[in-house]
Amino acid sequence: MTEHPNRTTIRPSGSLQILSYKEATQLCDQTQEGLNDLFRQCALAVLNTGLVDDNGLALIEAHPDFQIRVQVKGRGLQIEIENAPNNAFLEDDMIVGLQEHLSAVIRDLIYAKNEIVDNGEFDLEDTFGITNAVFHLARNAELMQPNREPNVVICWGGHSISRVEYKYTKQVGYHLGLRQLDICTGCGPGAMKGPMKGAVVGHGKQRYQDGRFIGLTEPGIIAAEAPNAIVNQLAILPDIEKRLEAFLRLGHGIIIFPGGAGTMEEILYLLSVIMHPQNNNIPFPVVLTGPECSRAYFDAVLEFIEFTLGRKASDKLTVLIDEPIETALFLKKGLGHVKAYREATSDAYYFNWNLHIPFELQKPFEPTHDNIAQLRIHRDQPEHQLASQLRQVFSAIVAGNVKREGMAQIEAHGPFQIQGDPEIMRRMDKLLRAFVEQRRMKLGTENYVPCYHIVTDMSA
């Protein structure tokens, strides 16, 4: 490739090499039925890897002239790119890892549309139909390896964390890597990158050559959390709900580092699943960990969980402060229990079929003002269902903070109005204020302007 980076042509690397003429046309189609707008948005996010920003609208506005097209040539697929971010290139050549991530974008957008959404074989209004769709999406992305024992550790946490917290995530990743455990994260910066970076060193010391660094994202969040350079297996799921389900189906244990609204969404989703009566006996090791300076964060999170969902919920979460080695040992031991259970129940190592995920957790939640107003944030329901409702509150806050569509909603109609049980609202307001004070809501914000309003006085 010898063209100037502002206008370049590449042939993709990775798991996708060829497309049909129909598929290429879909990626270039700028109509509502086409994929060009979504393709452009995801591709720009991938090529923006390494730049610290979490504003999806700002990214698009900063590159108004960015264009990407695909063509089917005699020797396979060809991608034409104009006005890509300069950091995507080394001299005149695009970084190989970014070429692979671009291929993953094309592969997943085409497959999700043609083989899942538009394919009548998948009933996306049915619990098993959605789980089956997640399985096929993961298999198509080559995320499942049948001959490996359970060793995939999910790492959740914020993209906006302190330097001390970031270094701690690397320490934990290092000790996971020494134990030849693979890492799966939301693929962005901060707590999603740190464990991968540490595990690279741990794998290297053990001469472990098959390390996997899996990144799971979705179109709405990819601009805010662009895939980091360490990810060697990237998958773009159609929406946040399928992304969250993929984490629990593919992973064997979870580490939760400090984060903001997105991490709280993940915690509540996890609790709504593992607290469901049908999942009582399924082993799934979970640990919350961070350095000593993160203690106040975890205290606030656990206080909120215990008040809203009860002691039964907080007992599901093990907390280890400033214990990177103990965290790795906890996961390693827990994965042994997972392996024994999968063997006893004849469940696959590579996909957790036995886990029951209710339809209300699978159905995509659109964060509009009307939908948020209809959430049932009250105690007159089972704890796992309340956790699901609370998860949607934090999903809406994430959308209003960093997602293109959510930010547009806030700009058009003002902050989301969140209301429910008065005491729960006061506790939620307290928790979110703590996140703001600790600068966990958005990158680089000195004076964060909330995209939400917590209604604490129901008589007002």
Query: How far are the Cα atoms of 55, 173, 227, 439, 440 from residue 445, in angstroms, in the given order?
Result: 11, 28, 22, 7, 9
173 and 310 fall within a common domain: yes
Angle at 247 between CA 356 and CA 167, to 5 degrees: 140
18 and 151 fall within a common domain: no
For tokens 């205290």, name the residue.
Answer: 299
pTM here is 0.93
Q: What is the DSSP string of 268-290?
A: HHHHHHHTSGGGTT----EEEEE
Residue 146 lies in a domain: yes
Structural domains counted in the chain: 2
- Reported residue count of the chain is 460
Tell me, what's the pLDDT at 3? 45
104 and 215 fall within a common domain: no
Tell me, what's the pLDDT at 342? 97
Residue 404 lies in a domain: no
In this prediction, residue 14 has a pLDDT band, given cuts at 50, 70 and 90, of low
**Domain of residue 80, CATH code:** 3.30.1850.10
Tell me, what's the pLDDT at 1? 42
The share of the chain scoring above pLDDT 70, in percent, equals: 93
Written as six digits, the tokens of 430 are 């307290």
Asked if 93 and 2 touch (Cβ cutoff 8 Å), the reply is: no
Tell me, what's the pLDDT at 107? 92
Left, alpha or beta for 84 (phi > 0: left; psi -120 to 50: alpha)?
beta
Q: Which of 112, 147, 178 is the last residue of a domain?
A: 112
83 and 160 fall within a common domain: no
Tens digit of each residue's pLDDT (9 = 90 or more) over 431-453: 999 998 888 886 655 678 889 99
Tens digit of each residue's pLDDT (9 = 90 or more) over 187-229: 989 999 999 999 999 999 999 999 999 999 999 888 778 899 8
54 and 156 fall within a common domain: no
Residue 171 lies in a domain: yes
Q: For the residues 298-322, what does the mean pLDDT come to?
A: 96
Angle between helices 36-47 and 96-111 (to 10 degrees): 150
Tell me, what's the pLDDT at 244? 98
Q: Taking Cα atoms as reference points, which of 237, 250, 236 lies closest to residue 353?
A: 250
95 and 242 fall within a common domain: no
93 and 168 fall within a common domain: no
Residue 255 lies in a domain: yes
DSSP for residue 385:
H
Tell me, what's the pLDDT at 71? 82
Residue 78 lies in a domain: yes
In this prediction, residue 278 has a pLDDT band, given cuts at 50, 70 and 90, of very high
Asked if 187 and 231 touch (Cβ cutoff 8 Å), the reply is: yes
Residue 166 lies in a domain: yes
163 and 75 fall within a common domain: no
Left, alpha or beta for 218 (phi > 0: left; psi -120 to 50: alpha)?
beta
108 and 139 fall within a common domain: no
Residue 103 lies in a domain: yes
Q: Which of 345, 361, 384 is the last residue of a domain?
A: 345
Tens digit of each residue's pLDDT (9 = 90 or more) over 163-178: 999 999 999 999 999 9
Residue 168 lies in a domain: yes
Query: How far are the Cα atoms of 24, 25, 28, 54, 426 from residue 70, in angstroms, in the given order?
Result: 6, 8, 7, 27, 51
Tell me, what's the pLDDT at 443? 64
In single-letter form, the type of residue at position 406 comes to G
145 and 259 fall within a common domain: yes
Q: Which of 345, 360, 382 is the last residue of a domain?
A: 345
Tell me, rounded to whole angstroms, the distance of Cα 228 from its chain centroid.
13
Tens digit of each residue's pLDDT (9 = 90 or more) over 80-96: 888 888 888 887 788 88
259 and 181 fall within a common domain: yes
What is the average pLDDT score of the chain? Answer: 90
Report the DSSP beta bridge partners of residue 235. 216
**Domain of residue 329, CATH code:** 3.40.50.450
- Which carries the bigger pLDDT value, residue 13 or residue 368? 368
Q: For the residues 53-77, what does the mean pLDDT come to?
A: 74
- Host domain of residue 21: 7-112
Q: For the residues 123-137, what does the mean pLDDT come to?
A: 96
Tell me, what's the pLDDT at 21? 84
295 and 148 fall within a common domain: yes
In single-letter form, the type of residue at position 21 comes to Y
